[in-house]
Amino acid sequence: MYTIPEIANIIGGKVIGNGFGHISKLSADSRAISFPEKTLFIAIKTNRNDGHKYIDSTYKNGVRSFVVSDSNIDFSKYNNSNFIVVDSTLDALQKLAAHHRNRFNLPVIGITGSNGKTIVKEWLFQLLNKDFRITRSPRSYNSQIGVPFSVWEMNADSQIAIFEAGISQPGEMAKLAPVINPTIGIFTNLGEAHQENFSSLKQKCNEKLLLFKNCDILIYDKDNKLVDISVLQAGFKAKLLTFGRCSEADIQVLSTDKDAGRTTVKYLYKSVYHEFEIPFTDDASVENALHCLAVMLHLDIPQKDINERMALLEPVAMRLEVKKGLNGCTLINDSYNSDFNSLSIALDFLKQQANVSGGKITVILSDIYQSGENPEILYKRVQSLLDNKNIDRFIGVGHEICKFQNLKFADDSAFFKSTADFLSHMDELNFRKETILLKGSRDFQFEAISDKLSECVHETALEVNLSALVRNFNYFRSFLKPETKIMSMVKAYAYGSGDIEVARTLQMNGCDYLAVAIADEGETLRKEGIHIPIVVMNPEKNSFRKIFENNLEPEIYSFNMLELVMKEAKNLGITEYPIHIKIDTGMHRLGFNPDEIDSLINKLKAQNFVMPRSIFSHLVGSDDAKFDEFTRKQLALFETAKAKMQNAFSHKVIAHILNSAGIERFSDYQHDMVRLGIGHYGITSVPTQKLEEVCTLKTNILQIKHVPANETVGYSRKGVLNRDSVIGAIPIGYADGLDRHLGNGVGKVLVNGTRAPIVGNVCMDVCMIDLTGINAEEGDEVTIFGNGLSINEVAQWLGTIPYEVLTSISRRVRRIYYKE
């Protein structure tokens, strides 16, 4: 623990308050505080948010110690509290973490590189936890903020620490290096990630290498010549431990033999032949395993243990899945590991989801393996954590956790010796309208619980990366002034991705408005706890009562529609209800004509039943440079209409015209608000590496058949085979949203990294693919679009736009939401 004066001295801050208090926890997230009396809240300012806005709510939740950079705070409002005032709260956090790091004299592994950081870190944990008590970064906590919070977890029980560091621009590693101060360095690889902020790969390589300035040993792939040359030029004092196929490598890789889902790596180390096997065949996994091998050799792990543990390596799950459950439940599936640190993070996510959806909060937890901690102490810590999160129901699964039933994990608790035992009693537990976290070690096979609790078990699923969604949202926000609002379009089931989870995520990340097409969509969001303003873009004439009942705000595009909404408001005794005025500047779809503005203003000012909340218009071709002249005409027409409307009323009338492409190409016309739609999903007409495709449509292979040449596949004998072929059937058809025009070789899918053409006609529920020459087995994953096969390419095959591809996906296809 640290005292307030100690912390102030470390970070160079001025204390305002009584100076009392002992700190063992740090937080920059007001939603994720478990032990407020021990927590120091650090009000960090970023380009997108300001932690000072949350001091009030954090104080109300029991926190009494703060680090701030705003000296204009009315400190007298906060009785019995301490404020440490500094110039930069981020710098203060990093200084405090660096000081904390240097209190410990133990091996610290620092990992950086373009890819593989988290997997190498997690595999090292799997490989070394039998020998050491390990502190490591939770998930992918490798940023300027995440690294200090990771390092803060070092404690007297730590025997080895493993931290990863990620950077996106010059100058960042110089700040992270003293925080981690590694003794063992790992440079995973060098790729194109974040290259847009560096003048060359060489510059980025040198920036990453700053992490290893004071290392005792540095591990890297000597076959990567740019990395090798850069390391040698840097003149580090560190001993170099390299691997590669070249004879100069310390660990010389002789061969990598792949067979039946496994790879045997044969190598020479100190002139002695060795080999190990891993249960993966991709090149990235082999590279990651070699980094881990080098660490184990450096730490003198016996060769027998290395071989045994490598053979048992497990995939790293770097995400929290969210999906609909039975009886109105929401499932958060983290059933891959159950260490204490990841439990804390998962509980924070659980609370955020539950705060929106309402209902009971339930945790299903397996035995926690490989903690290195006394079980009684460990489960008391778990109990304390759950108690602070106000969990309503707890279910423990496993022989070990059953020994501690006397601990009050929750008022409603149940315990089962095994997953099978739980499943046999599940119907008696009556899960209903609960937000449920499944948190289990892989051995417990909690996926069986997940399947039984899931609303839909169709093999075909649309995976939605909520973390990527937020990053895309923030990318577009980077074009905007701080005061400019964002309206996010979640109509049409959020473009097919699922409106509720997308709306929740956007609401939690500072979206100002949501927009739906019809009132029914808005009503659904309100029932699911969405509270920010929602605009109905296409209100139907009989929907105004529903709009009023659900506090929705209608778009008004004609005098007839205006009369209807005023009449309904008058009948219900409603005054000054917000409406949004649509102006037709060239789309010629819906909207008041520009020459009707004066009459519209007069009509609005003559009554008090409704009031204009915003005025807006739609751009026709903001995504295409050939329409720029027309776009500028639209912008000019809108400017005139906006000025008239805003000058006519004493209250603020918000103006907005830019869509996703407009934000990127015409940001000078952002007015008071912008509308973000397809851009959420990483789809843009402007070439950029900063957006990520959010949705991945996946299924798997049902059956594989060997079909001779001259036979046909599918209905109407359309799939004529001109060679002996291997044909796979996959459970997706036009009823799932797979367009029939993709059949007969027009479309392709991705199987184990190789494209496989669709053969014959697409059926209602199934289609067939040509697997000839592809290493594939029944049950293998198939990507319809996603990583490696862009939705843009699928749209091009169909001669359409990505909007149509996304919105065509049937609701019977499972939506699986995950957070990295």
pLDDT of residue 350: 86
Backbone angles phi, psi at 112, to 5 degrees: -140, 175
Between CA 609 and CA 721 the distance in angstroms is 69
For the cut 70, the answer to whether the pLDDT of residue 319 exceeds it is no
102-310 CATH pick, 3.10.450.50, 3.40.1390.10, 3.40.1190.10, 3.40.50.720: 3.40.1190.10
Q: Is the pLDDT of residue 495 over 80?
A: yes
pLDDT at 358 over 90: no
Residue 48 has pLDDT above 90, yes or no: no
320-455 CATH pick, 3.90.190.20, 3.40.30.10, 2.40.30.20, 3.30.1330.10: 3.90.190.20
pLDDT band at 356 (very low <50, low <70, confident <90, very high): low
- Report pLDDT for 347: 86
What's the mean pLDDT in 775-793? 93
pLDDT of residue 72: 86
Q: How far apart are CA 327 and CA 439, in angstroms?
A: 20
In which band, very low, low, confident or very high, does the pLDDT at 742 lie, cut at 50, 70 and 90?
very high
Is the pLDDT confidence value at 457 over 80? no
Q: Kindly name the residue from 175, 491, 582, 819 that is annotated as catalytic.
A: 491
For the chain, the first-to-last Cα distance in angstroms comes to: 30
Please enumerate in sequence order all residues whose Cβ is within 8 A of that of 757, keeping only pairs 6 or more positions apart, or say none: 745, 747, 748, 769, 770
Structure confidence at residue 499 (pLDDT): 87
Q: Is the pLDDT assigned to residue 342 strictly greater than 80? A: no
Choose among 262, 266, 282: nearest CA to 274: 266
Q: For residues 523-549, give the mean pLDDT.
A: 93
CATH 3.30.565.10 corresponds to the domain 464-681: no
In the chain, % of residues over pLDDT 90: 74
Average pLDDT, the chain: 92
The whole-number pLDDT of residue 338 equals 65
Residues 702-735 pLDDT 10s: 999 999 999 999 999 999 999 999 999 999 999 9
Separation of alpha carbons 375 and 367, rounded Å:
10
Task: Give the residue, 458 or 278, on which the prediction is more confident.
Answer: 278
Confidence at 453, pLDDT banded by 50, 70, 90: confident
pLDDT digits (tens, 9 = 90+) for 498-514: 888 999 999 988 999 99
Q: What is the pLDDT of residue 300?
A: 96
CATH ID of 695-819, from 3.30.420.80, 3.40.50.300, 2.40.37.10, 2.60.40.420: 2.40.37.10
Length of the chain: 820
When pLDDT is cut at 50, 70 and 90, the band that residue 259 belongs to is confident
Q: How confident is the model at residue 179 (pLDDT cuts 50, 70, 90)?
A: very high
Query: How confident is the model over 656-664, as a mean pLDDT?
Result: 96
pLDDT digits (tens, 9 = 90+) for 153-169: 999 989 999 999 998 88
Question: 92-107 pLDDT, tens per residue?
Answer: 999 999 999 999 999 9
Task: Compute the average pLDDT of residues 318-330.
Answer: 80
Contacts for 311 with CB less than 8 Å, ≥ 6 apart:
276, 277, 278, 279
Note the pLDDT of residue 379: 93
Is 45 a catalytic site residue?
no
CATH superfamily of the 2-94 domain: MurE/MurF, N-terminal domain (3.40.1390.10)
| Alpha carbons 587 and 657: distance in angstroms, whole number | 12
Q: Does residue 803 have an active-site annotation?
A: no
The predicted model gives 362-381 an average pLDDT of 85
Domain boundaries, the chain: 2-94, 102-310, 320-455, 464-681, 695-819
Of 521, 525, 537, 549, the C-alpha closest to 487 is 537
Axis crossing angle, helix 4-11 with helix 89-101, rounded to the nearest 10: 110
Using a cut of 0.85, tell me whether the model's pTM lies above it. Answer: no
Task: Give the integer Cα–Cα distance in Å for 767 and 728.
Answer: 8
> What is the per-residue pLDDT across 109-140, written as a single tens digit (0 to 9) for each?
999 998 889 899 999 999 999 999 999 987 77
Residue 256 scores a pLDDT above 90? yes
Residue 517, pLDDT > 80, answer: yes
The per-residue pLDDT for 471 is 93
pLDDT, tens digit (0-9, with 9 covering 90-100), for 190-217: 887 667 788 899 999 999 999 999 999 9
What is the per-residue pLDDT for 633?
Answer: 97
Look at residue 650 and tell me whether its pLDDT is greater than 80.
Answer: yes
**pLDDT at 115 (0 to 100):** 85
pLDDT over 70 (residue 186)? yes
What's the rounded mean pLDDT across residues 64-69? 95
Pair of tokens at residue 582: 């649509």
Query: How deeply is 145 buried, as exposed, middle or buried, from its count of CB atoms within 10 A (0-12, 13-18, 19+)?
Result: middle
Q: Is the pLDDT of residue 317 over 80?
A: no
pLDDT at 370 over 70: no
What confidence score (pLDDT) does residue 320 get?
75
